[in-house]
Structure 1
Amino acid sequence: MDQKRELTSVDLAALVGELRRYEGAKLDKAYLYEDDELLRLKLRDFDEGRVELLIEVGETKRAHVVAQEHVPDAPGRPPNFAMMLRNRLSGADLVGIEQFEFDRIVQFHFEREDNSTTVVAELFGDGNVAVLDEHGEVVDCLETVRLKSRTVAPGATYEFPSARFNPLTVDYEGFVARLKQSDADVVRTLATQLNFGGLYGEELCSRAGVEYNQAVEDTTDEEFEALYDAVDGLATQLRESDLDPRVYYEMDDEDGGEDGAEAAGSDSEGNDGEDGTPGRRVDATPIALEEYSHLRSETFETFTAALDDYFYNFETDAAESGGGGRDRPDFEAEINKYEHIIRQQQEAIDDFEEQADAEREKAELLYARYDLVAEILSTIQGARDEDVPWEDIEAKFEAGKEQGIPEAEAVVGLDGSEGTVTLDIDDTQVTVDASMGVEKNADLLYQEAKRIEGKKEGAQAAIEDTREDLEDAKARRDRWEAADQEAGNGAAEGDGEDADGENEDVDWLGMNSIPVRQTEQWYERFRWFHTSDGFLVIGGRNADQNEELVKKYLDNGDKVFHAQAHGGPITVLKATGPSEAAKDVDLPDSSLDQAATFAVSYSSVWKDGKHAGDVYMVDPDQVSKTPESGEYLEKGGFAIRGDRTYFRDQEVDVSVGITCEDETQVVGGPTPAIEPKAETTIRVEPGQFAQNDIAKRLYREFKTRFADDSFVRKVASPDRIQEFLPPGGSRSVE
């Protein structure tokens, strides 16, 4: 049985009810961990004391309060996203928590005297966290989303996905009507059309005593009532927080497997098997489920406590069961995730098709009953021209119904605030604008169908991207298994040494576990790289660092580079180390060329989207902080005196890579300097993606290249990659 990796819509409905107990708490600090997938909000509550809220939006998607002993250690330097949250939310009150419709989206509303902020956690698809201001505009987000159907990007108004059907608020007639629209069986209809998902679709069938695979068209009225009662009962439990939170365990095969319940029974006390082990955690639910009656379970006082226990032990349970430990990446879970996303995207496409067809059908009905609709609209328009109130017009139609007038009988209702009339035409309700004629109303319906089909096209493009991700995951699994088999064959044939007794080259990309070896160097505060000849090049990240480089680290024998364009780092090609005596060194042309490339690449030339610019080189004694008479030097600026050596039309060139020996770290700079030293590299050029967006894209790509993707999380987080990217927009070069 697969372990749960994501919260369901039912889970969130239960969870939000529990989390509202923390409304009124003040936010102390926000933390974002290295992989940009785990957000921690530290709050202080008057009754509860310290409250730690974790929101994870990676392969695992969750949001819940955790025990203090389960809080991960604070990360190092906070990234920009975390600093932004601290600036906006420090001391703010948590004033509201809500689920968007019946979707896997949670909104956390904060208020402070100077601002209002909403943190939106999207726990579906690729996952995302967006921070909104009081006007609903995106201040920042972990992932930029630009689709035909919606946009989530800094500066843009936040757009929710299309609202999903909410089965927890529907009445009996609406529930049955929704079911009868489906030509699938009952359980699949509950799972997809009513958005319960597979587990709760099966649970509702079990509670109602209805067969899973029974066709909806074969379902009786009594069975519809039983199903609705089951849904209504679940809705009441969630609404009133009448929960029975559980963590469910599955025993290993030797302990009885999934069918081991016969030997062990369902035990909410000790939960131990015959060997004293409780088994592997497979799910945490807000209520006891009949579908899990064969599994061991442990009860918890709150659902958030059950989730904390489940996810805190998730990786350990997965590793012990061989389903995603450190030795082997959990390809099956990744493949299952993409297959699940594809199913959801296909369901969305089907929904868009149904909605578009429904709008077109309404337009055609207007034309099919043209005379009747035209008469109704004409009557309303004439009355409004004479300033007859909407209430009186509605009363006139009600009187007409009593007299059996067809036009009046077709009017279901009027909405004066919107200026619309809802008609019943051949058992289909159509809402039209009362100020327009039949043709214009039909045209609006056709336009709406076209707009919905545009969403369908966006969803089709997204599903193709997900299919590519799925194929990539399968290919990586196949490569890993082939490499593992080859390694096993090699171990059987020899001891890993070649004929001369020397160790073979290490396949770092295929290794299941790569040891992390890092030592901090003095120059890593700056922009830096080592040339292909081994010389250190350092550049300032800002005016303060430019000043520091010239005053503290510039020695005789070094070379100073600067782009001719305004706005760029002071770049120093070091001839000696910081503790070495100055000496004459013959710097190779290749190192000079790479330093010039570095200087132009991290200047405003890149930021302006250009691919080349001029760079000059001078000696240290030509650099002065003393301006010419009558002139003024800004902070970080210097006067250059004497002749300059120019590198004309120097092309920009930056690659980012990961080294595995002798140190494990991110490196970046001119391609000729980086490629030979890194195990794998990605070249970038001026492009459309902001620094943080392209850093995340490179991070995800690097994760696909290493069998040990946890290694990438440790040494090459998006923040660390971003340190080596030029200012401005970039894109990767295929």
Structure 2
Amino acid sequence: MKKQLSSLDLHFLVKELKDLENSRIDKIYQPEKNVIIFSLYKSNVGKKILKIDVGKSMFIADEKEEGETLGFGMFLRKHLDGYFLSRISQVEPERILKFSFKVKNNIKDFYIEFFGKGNAILCYDDIILNALDHHEFRDRTIKPKIKYKFPLMKHNYFQLSTNELKELLKNSKKNSIVTSLAIELGFGGIYSEEICLISDVDKGTDPKKLSDEEIGSISDNIKKIINKEIKPSVIYKDGDIADFAAFDLKFYSKNEKKEFKSFSEALSFFYSQFVEVKETEFDKRLRGLQRIIESQKKTIEEFRSKEKESREKGELIYHKYNTIKEILDELTNASKKYSWKEIKSKLKGHKVIKEVNDKDRKVVVEV
């Protein structure tokens, strides 16, 4: 399963989400640590729910999730209440989206990072106001009052010329063109496979050994892919959901597909198939109470069993009282003359007394 949106996925998603621009923030929710939901309202359009699963996915949802709003969500409410979403853009070619919120002359930028474990950062004039997660990396720090810096790849495939691509490949540190495209240009696995396929280039070819003609073909097809018409679908493999795509992929030409009207709908459907059922606080308390009740039931059954056994023993002792009393009297008198070890020896083979424990001074009788 594809777990995170790629740079190219975000490129096509931003095109669709442009319709949300100029919407007013109605409410902000954070039902889970990594889930941030914007309820947006736009005249003549109505309300739209934008669900962001930080570091993983983003799409227009049918409805907001129920639950409490956590601390970072409350912080966003405080700082963005009454603001309008003025612009959505991608920090190309990174897996970072930038949401610019504006009210009068005040602009605050909200960055969503989809690489690694992901992060969400609110800035004012490029200074971090707060972030979902605070970090200190070797080359950047994500903490309040620090200037926000995002990592940038050396090459931006959205603006890459054929000559620049040629230079990159001739100096590539990878041993195959598909790996070079996936890692050094940031296309990811499937889109790199697609570029090789439609460029008629063996994906295992050493990038340094590509001909000028092959490099030209790759360059042309990178541009074509970037400008593809959105035709979203979810891809199946052996009957199971395997992937999603913003446009038709030759790589999946033989696979079964389910088409959608929008890329956002495809993403919503795809990720809904892998939703982890989360246990609420009520469910946890209920499970704890059920465990206590089961334990109490077991204890009650054990007591009932012991009670029945003890009652039967008591009734037997009552009916055989005279016999038992005689045995006890005889043992008491014998213990005045003999040791319990001697008593045990003398009673071996006795018809009623079946066992003597000389250490604990106990006997087992059969009546």
* 2:269 maps to 1:312: no
How big is the shift at 1:515? 9.4
- Structure 2 SS opposite 1:165: coil
How big is the shift at 1:164? 4.5
Residue 700 of structure 1 corresponds to none
Identity between Structure 1 and Structure 2 (%):
28
How big is the shift at 1:236? 2.3
Which residue of 178, 186, 191 corresponds with 1:195? 186
How big is the shift at 1:67? 2.3
The code of the aligned residue for 1:311 comes to Y
Structure 1: how far apart are the matches of 2:86 and 2:5? 23
For the 8 Å contact 1:129–1:142, the answer to whether it is kept is yes
Residue 102 of structure 1 corresponds to 93
Report matched runs for 1:506-525 at 5 Å.
516-518=283-285
Using structure 2 for the length normalisation, give the TM-score: 0.74
For the 8 Å contact 1:179–1:193, the answer to whether it is kept is no
Structure 1: how far apart are the matches of 2:205 and 2:285? 60
For the 8 Å contact 1:104–1:123, the answer to whether it is kept is yes
Structure 2: how far apart are the matches of 1:88 and 1:158? 17
> Structure 1 stretches of 5 or more lacking a match?
252-278, 317-324, 327-511, 520-659, 665-734
TM-aligned CA distance change 1:120 to 1:663, over 3 Å = farther
Structure 2: how far apart are the matches of 1:115 and 1:12? 26
For the 8 Å contact 1:165–1:195, the answer to whether it is kept is no
Structure 1: how far apart are the matches of 2:78 and 2:282? 36
Higher RCO (CA < 8 A, seq sep 6+): 2
- Structure 1 SS opposite 2:107: strand
Residue 500 of structure 1 corresponds to none
For the 8 Å contact 1:128–1:142, the answer to whether it is kept is yes
Which residue of 167, 181, 188 corresponds with 2:157? 167
For the 8 Å contact 2:92–2:158, the answer to whether it is kept is no
Which residue of 46, 49, 55 corresponds with 2:46? 49
- Structure 2 SS opposite 1:117: strand
Structure 2: how far apart are the matches of 1:662 and 1:189? 56
How big is the shift at 1:315? 3.0
Report matched runs for 1:224-623 at 5 Å.
224-237=215-228, 242-251=229-238, 279-315=239-275, 516-518=283-285
How big is the shift at 1:179? 1.2
Structure 1: how far apart are the matches of 2:145 and 2:255? 49
How big is the shift at 1:46? 2.1
* 2:135 maps to 1:145: yes
For the 8 Å contact 1:25–1:45, the answer to whether it is kept is yes
Residue 11 of structure 1 corresponds to 9
RMSD value over aligned CA atoms?
2.5
Which residue of 33, 57, 70 corresponds with 1:62? 57
How big is the shift at 1:662? 5.0
Structure 1: how far apart are the matches of 2:213 and 2:107? 50
Residue 85 of structure 1 corresponds to 76
The code of the aligned residue for 1:140 comes to N
Residue 128 of structure 1 corresponds to 119
Structure 1: how far apart are the matches of 2:290 and 2:111? 38
How big is the shift at 1:661? 4.4
Residue 181 of structure 1 corresponds to 171
- Structure 1 SS opposite 2:50: strand
CA deviations on 1:265-313 (whole Å, 9 max, x unpaired) are xxxxxxxxxxxxxx32221111111111221111212111111111122
The code of the aligned residue for 1:178 comes to L
CA deviations on 1:524-564 (whole Å, 9 max, x unpaired) are xxxxxxxxxxxxxxxxxxxxxxxxxxxxxxxxxxxxxxxxx
Structure 2: how far apart are the matches of 1:148 and 1:216? 30
The code of the aligned residue for 1:72 comes to E
For the 8 Å contact 1:120–1:131, the answer to whether it is kept is yes
Structure 2: how far apart are the matches of 1:80 and 1:307? 27
- Structure 2 SS opposite 1:63: strand
Aligned residues: 290
Residue 318 of structure 2 corresponds to none
Report matched runs for 1:19-30 at 5 Å.
19-30=17-28
For the 8 Å contact 1:281–1:314, the answer to whether it is kept is no
For the 8 Å contact 2:98–2:109, the answer to whether it is kept is yes
Structure 2: how far apart are the matches of 1:160 and 1:219? 32
How big is the shift at 1:115? 3.1
Structure 2: how far apart are the matches of 1:158 and 1:52? 27
How big is the shift at 1:197? 1.3
TM-aligned CA distance change 1:113 to 1:301, over 3 Å = same
Report matched runs for 1:627-666 at 5 Å.
661=288
Structure 2: how far apart are the matches of 1:307 and 1:151? 31
For the 8 Å contact 1:178–1:194, the answer to whether it is kept is no
Structure 2: how far apart are the matches of 1:38 and 1:310? 17
CA deviations on 1:641-682 (whole Å, 9 max, x unpaired) are xxxxxxxxxxxxxxxxxxx84599xxxxxxxxxxxxxxxxxx
CA deviations on 1:410-438 (whole Å, 9 max, x unpaired) are xxxxxxxxxxxxxxxxxxxxxxxxxxxxx
Structure 2: how far apart are the matches of 1:194 and 1:37? 27
For the 8 Å contact 1:101–1:163, the answer to whether it is kept is no
Which residue of 37, 42, 49 corresponds with 1:40? 37
TM-aligned CA distance change 1:63 to 1:164, over 3 Å = farther
Using structure 1 for the length normalisation, give the TM-score: 0.38
> Structure 2 stretches of 5 or more lacking a match?
292-367
The code of the aligned residue for 1:128 comes to N
For the 8 Å contact 1:42–1:51, the answer to whether it is kept is yes
Structure 2: how far apart are the matches of 1:81 and 1:114? 24
For the 8 Å contact 2:8–2:226, the answer to whether it is kept is no
Structure 2: how far apart are the matches of 1:309 and 1:46? 27
For the 8 Å contact 1:39–1:56, the answer to whether it is kept is yes
Report matched runs for 1:659-678 at 5 Å.
661=288
TM-aligned CA distance change 1:164 to 1:247, over 3 Å = farther
For the 8 Å contact 2:169–2:208, the answer to whether it is kept is no
Structure 1: how far apart are the matches of 2:154 and 2:57? 20
For the 8 Å contact 2:122–2:129, the answer to whether it is kept is yes
